[in-house]
Structure 1
Amino acid sequence: MTYRDVASRQVLVWAGTAVAARMPVAMTPLALVFLVRERPGGYSLGAALAAAYVLGEIVAAPILGTRLDPARGRRQLTAGLAGGTLGFTGLGVLAGSHALVLGAFAFLAGAAPSAAAGGQRALLTFLVPERAVAQALSTESMLMSGVWAVSPVAVAGLALAVDPRVPLLLAAVLMALSMAGHRLLPAGWAKDGQGGRANRVRTRVLLGAWPVYVTGAASITLLGLVELTLPALLEQRGIGVGWSGPLLAGMAVAAGAGAFVYGLRSWPGRLRSRSVVLMCGMSVFVALLALIPDGSGMAVALVLAGILQSGALITRNLSLRDALPPGALAAGYSVLYAAAGAGYAATGSLAGALLQVVAPSTAMLAGVGLTLLLTALGWWGEARRERSPAPGGLQAGPAARAEGAPIAGGGDPERSL
């Protein structure tokens, strides 16, 4: 079980395809702000357009994800990416249009490709041996950490140095390239003849994995809390707000390093217990971020939180793989994606409301409390589900049957991945 099992030509093609599809996701919120900031009420309009984009993702991801056919998913993914390309092209070409027109294009850009992340993750696990799934998910996490570290810098540079429309036109080009990349990959990720029949049971089965979605939303809630509150916290500490960019980039780089370390070996404990430990550790470092008065200490807290964050996200993906039958994984990943988006949106609303009445450090601590509450709820739900049969009598993933045995005793569920 090493990263050598992940190294193949098809995984390399998948990596380029996934980066091309997800770079626009990371670029869009900031790109929309730059697109309209020179207009009257530009910052408010930019926030509204970003909200329309995220709303498109949240609404469409579970709907489109549950309709992905494991046998012919490529056709559906490329259709969604084509819709995203159209949305981004409209935003870039018609930048001076009425706000409602831009809002419609932003919604389309978020909604149409929203199932791509789930489908691509399912395809990645199909491309590698079962024993290397944890390493494949770690590799994905490293790639996405790099994407999120580079995207804000690229957007700001292109928008300020060239033209505010360029980042969105670049997003359209990237999505078009992702469509082309999918033509070099398998048509689907079905195993053992799975296809349309698996699709019909997904909605019922997906509901049984709700604890994983809750904990996944909690991890993104904490990340969103940091991103949205950090500038105000720095100002409270008397530190230049401009440091927020480098600090968040450092957190993203640390998350990539944490993902690499996570994939190097098997870790002790059940997946749900491991997730709780990682989430609680991340919460501790975010709480310290709110309490530490100097910038260097805050940087260390962010780096340590980033290292644990990637492990928490990978553990959530592995837990979902355990909770669902193989034919439902792409749909499950899409629902998890939507849950994460909802958690991020809720964090934005909570942070915005709290910052009106309390200090940034207090708002951050309140968000940590909410995260711990969601983590506890998810842990309770997973423990309860583990004692109950799978919904509809369907078998969950291969590791779910083994997770009850301690890893140290030779029953490591990830050894079969």
Structure 2
Amino acid sequence: MTYRDVASRQVLVWACTSVGARMPVAMTPLALVFLVRERPGGYALGAALAAAYVIGEIIGAPTLGMRLRPDRARPQLAAGLAAGVAGFVGLGAFPGAHSVALAAFAFLAGGAPAASAGALRAMLTHLVPERAVAQALSTESILVSGIWAVSPAAVTGLALAVAPRAPLLLAAALMASSLAGLWLLPAGWEAGDAEGGVRAGDTTDGERAGERAGGSKGEASAGQSPIRLLIGAWPLFVTGAAGLALLGLAELVLPALLEQRGIAVGWSGPMLTGLAVGGALGAFLYGLRSWPGLPRTRSAVLICAMTACVTLVALIPGTAGIAVALIVGGMLQSAVLLTRNLSLREALPPRTLAAGYSVMYAAAGAGYAATGSLAGALLHVTEPSTAILAGVGLTLVLTAVGWWGEVRRAGHSAQDADTVVTPGSDVTGPSVPAAPTVPGAEGTAIRGGCDPEHRL
């Protein structure tokens, strides 16, 4: 499999729509900091507003994502995006409003369109052949990294050269443009695909054999409610939160850290652009080959390496050293998020994937909000570098909890998989040996091993 399997007109339309919906997400936290930084205690207030925005995402993503209809998601997505536009317009039109009013606008801008991230990801996997899902998710990660690369520079330039409100008004215009893109995409992702697993014409004999070998997961989850399935995948959400927590540290505290170091605050934009460029490069490289180790171990190692990079950001005094640490951290972060999304696709049945992606989005936002709020509170009493180190400690705690949960989950799954029962067989009879692994089977193993296609 190569990235050529992803190239199509529909994926291009999806990409344009995704840019309009997601670039405001990348712009808003830093834009809120610039919006109020001239006020007394402006940096702390900006961090609080960014936390309100992310809390809206945390609440909106799972709440609205669970209510999306896979076959007719467009009207729900359009309503959420329209409400998000209203929130951004409120922030841009009334920058001098009371902090409570600004927090309410930020909450609306974050919460109303929050389900679109998971829905667009589920739609992308519907637009490509099943064999190219891994490359599609890598492409999505590259696109998101590109958005995060452009956004800091755009926010910094507009806020300093035009007006502090300009980035938020641009975010409103971009989100409005994504509404038009929705009508060029399918109304939803077919429920039949979700239940059937692989679309017609995409299944080879080897893949069918692989589905028979791995069919026990779908059979075991068929009678469970979506909420119970999502609760069972909690370790993935915890490590997803840890993965984005460090981005919250880098973005929200970096301007104050640069001032502490005597570096011009305008460098925050180019540095965060470097972080995102590193993320795009990391996503591309990750999708080219297989990687050793269990997914849970791989994620833990990658997150620990990320924390080392962010620790260096807090300790290095020079501009070049901070920039290099951010770029390497971005490469590692994209690999973490890809590992989490692919593991989630393996852990959940297709009918609940859109909700799972939304919960993962909310969990990542929770990690962002937790470290951002912690850093914002600490900025009142300590230096920015110390606030970053405190956030690094919180991230390590989340990583340890998630890794422990995945170890327990893998143990339970191994016990459940000891006996494989074929359809129509007598469950009281002797156990039926599992079918042999077939090289053509799709999917990333969550209990160990690498992708059979050797592309992840």
TM-score bucket (shorter structure): 0.7 to 0.9
Q: Deviations over 1:142-163 (max 9, x none)?
A: 1111212222322333344444
Q: CA deviation at 1:56?
A: 1.5
1:3-402 superposed matches below 5 A: 3-35=3-35, 46-95=46-95, 99-192=99-192, 194=194, 201-356=225-380, 359-389=383-413, 399=443, 402=445
Q: Distance in 2 between matches of 1:293 and 1:154?
A: 26
Segment of structure 1 superposing worse, 44-53 or 379-388: 44-53
User: Is the Cα–Cα contact under 8 Å of residues 289 and 454 in structure 2 kept in the other structure?
Assistant: no
Q: CA deviation at 1:34?
A: 4.4
User: Is the Cα–Cα contact under 8 Å of residues 398 and 416 in structure 1 kept in the other structure?
Assistant: no
Q: Distance in 2 between matches of 1:224 and 1:40?
A: 22
AA aligned to 2:10 is Q
User: Is the Cα–Cα contact under 8 Å of residues 81 and 113 in structure 2 kept in the other structure?
Assistant: yes
Q: Deviations over 1:147-188 (max 9, x none)?
A: 122223223333444444443332222222111111111121
Q: Distance in 1 between matches of 2:167 and 2:156?
A: 9
Q: CA deviation at 1:63?
A: 0.6
User: Is the Cα–Cα contact under 8 Å of residues 71 and 190 in structure 1 kept in the other structure?
Assistant: yes
Q: CA deviation at 1:294?
A: 3.4
1:40–1:239 Cα change, 3 Å: closer
User: Is the Cα–Cα contact under 8 Å of residues 289 and 302 in structure 1 kept in the other structure?
Assistant: yes
SS in 1 for 2:148: helix
User: Is the Cα–Cα contact under 8 Å of residues 47 and 376 in structure 2 kept in the other structure?
Assistant: no
Q: CA deviation at 1:235?
A: 4.6
Q: CA deviation at 1:355?
A: 4.5
1:235–1:172 Cα change, 3 Å: closer
Q: Distance in 1 between matches of 2:98 and 2:373?
A: 25
Task: Report what 2:209 is aligned to.
Answer: none
1:128–1:245 Cα change, 3 Å: same
SS in 1 for 2:225: helix
User: Is the Cα–Cα contact under 8 Å of residues 134 and 414 in structure 1 kept in the other structure?
Assistant: no
1:214–1:143 Cα change, 3 Å: same
RMSD between aligned residues: 3.1
User: Is the Cα–Cα contact under 8 Å of residues 131 and 416 in structure 1 kept in the other structure?
Assistant: no
Structure 2: stretches of 5+ with no match in the other structure: 196-221, 418-440
User: Is the Cα–Cα contact under 8 Å of residues 47 and 372 in structure 2 kept in the other structure?
Assistant: no
1:241–1:163 Cα change, 3 Å: closer
Q: Distance in 1 between matches of 2:182 and 2:166?
A: 24
Segment of structure 1 superposing worse, 134-143 or 308-317: 134-143
User: Is the Cα–Cα contact under 8 Å of residues 199 and 328 in structure 1 kept in the other structure?
Assistant: no
Q: Distance in 2 between matches of 1:98 and 1:233?
A: 27
AA aligned to 2:62 is P
User: Is the Cα–Cα contact under 8 Å of residues 23 and 148 in structure 1 kept in the other structure?
Assistant: yes
Q: Distance in 2 between matches of 1:85 and 1:341?
A: 20
1:30–1:232 Cα change, 3 Å: closer
Q: Distance in 2 between matches of 1:354 and 1:235?
A: 16
Q: Distance in 2 between matches of 1:370 and 1:40?
A: 28
User: Is the Cα–Cα contact under 8 Å of residues 10 and 185 in structure 2 kept in the other structure?
Assistant: yes
Q: Distance in 1 between matches of 2:103 and 2:387?
A: 30
Q: Distance in 1 between matches of 2:58 and 2:41?
A: 26
* % identity of equivalent residues: 69
1:166–1:367 Cα change, 3 Å: closer
User: Is the Cα–Cα contact under 8 Å of residues 44 and 376 in structure 2 kept in the other structure?
Assistant: no
Q: Distance in 2 between matches of 1:114 and 1:199?
A: 28
Q: Distance in 2 between matches of 1:253 and 1:102?
A: 31
User: Is the Cα–Cα contact under 8 Å of residues 279 and 375 in structure 1 kept in the other structure?
Assistant: yes
User: Is the Cα–Cα contact under 8 Å of residues 403 and 413 in structure 1 kept in the other structure?
Assistant: no
User: Is the Cα–Cα contact under 8 Å of residues 156 and 266 in structure 2 kept in the other structure?
Assistant: no
TM-score by length of 1: 0.87
Q: CA deviation at 1:101?
A: 4.3
AA aligned to 1:60 is G
TM-score by length of 2: 0.80
Q: Distance in 2 between matches of 1:129 and 1:139?
A: 14
AA aligned to 1:406 is G
AA aligned to 1:399 is G
Structure 1: stretches of 5+ with no match in the other structure: none
